[in-house]
Amino acid sequence: MSKPADLVQGTLDMLILKILALQPLNGWAISQRLKQISSDVLGVSDGSLYPALHKLEHRGWIRAQWKSSENNRRAKLYSLTPLGRKQLEKETANWNRVSAAISGIVQLKEA
């Protein structure tokens, strides 16, 4: 895996939590949404999505239920748990703090 993808790894959890905070979705839909909102910039492969989902589930931040979808196909629907909501708030705050600091540095005028 290349370096930029590692950078994404750290924030991928936060993005998934954010997406699920808006509405419960299955894995496919999450991947579509990820591509859509990040405009393919982050290049999240489907390969790294599912391990991340399983990790979040096991940490108790999201929970999964099997539901029958419209074409009568079973789909695993992920939703945020209260614990996940708290985690999202924490990570968002953290992100804001870090990104503010970084952009502050980046925007410094060279003397």
Partner 1 sequence: MNIEQLFYSLPLRLRSFFHPNEADEEMKEELRAHLEQQINENIAKGMSAEEARRSAVRDMGGLTQIEQQCRDAQGRNVLQDFIQDLRYGVRQLLRSPGFSALAVLCLTLGIGANAAVFSWVEGILFRPYPLVAHQERLFAVAATVQGESSPDELSWLDFLDLRRNCTFCEDSFVTSITGSTLNVGDHAEVTTGSIVSANYFDAIGVHPILGRGFESGEDVGENSHPVVVISYQMWRDRFKGDREIIGKTQRLNNVPHTIIGVAPDGFYGTFVGRAMQFWVPVSMEENFRGAGYKLEDRGARWVESYVRLKPGVSRRQAQQQISVIATQLQKNYPTTNRGRSIGLWALWQNPFNHAGELLPILEVMVAVVAFVLLIACANVGNLLLVRSFVRRHEMSVRLAIGASRGRLLKQLLTEGLILSALGTAGGFLMAYGCRHLLVMLLPVRGGEAMYLPGTLDGRVMAMGAGICLVVTLIVGLVPALQTRHLDLAGPLKAESDSVVGARSRGWMRSGLVIFQVCLSFILLVGAALLLESLQRIRTTSPGFSTTSIGVTGVSLVAAGYDVPRAKTFQNELIDRLSALPGIESAAFAAVTPLGYRSFPSSPIAVDGYQPAPDEQPEVEYNQVGPGYLATLGIPLLSGREFARSDDENASLVAIVNRTMVMRYWGGQDPIGRRVQVKGRWVRVVGVAADSKYESIDETPKPFFYVPLRQDFVRQPDLNIRTTQSLQSTLAAVLRELHALDQNLALYEMITLQEQVNRATAPQLVAVTLVSTLGGLALLLAAVGLYGVMSYAVAQSTRELGLRMALGADAANLLRLVISRGLRLTTGGILFGAVAALALTRLLRQLLYNVSPYDPVVFVLALAVMTTTAMFACLLPAWRASRTDPARVLRG
- Which residues contact partner 1 by CB under 8 A? 26-28, 31, 45-47, 50-52, 54-55, 57-61, 63, 66, 73-76, 81, 83
Closer by beta carbon to partner 1, 70 or else 110: 70
Amino acid in position 24: P
Task: Compute φ and ψ for 64, nearest 5 degrees.
Answer: -120, 145
Residue 7 beta carbon to partner 1: minimum distance, rounded to whole angstroms: 18
The C-alpha torsion from 2 through 98 and 86 to 39, rounded to 10°, is -50
Closer by beta carbon to partner 1, 23 or else 45: 45
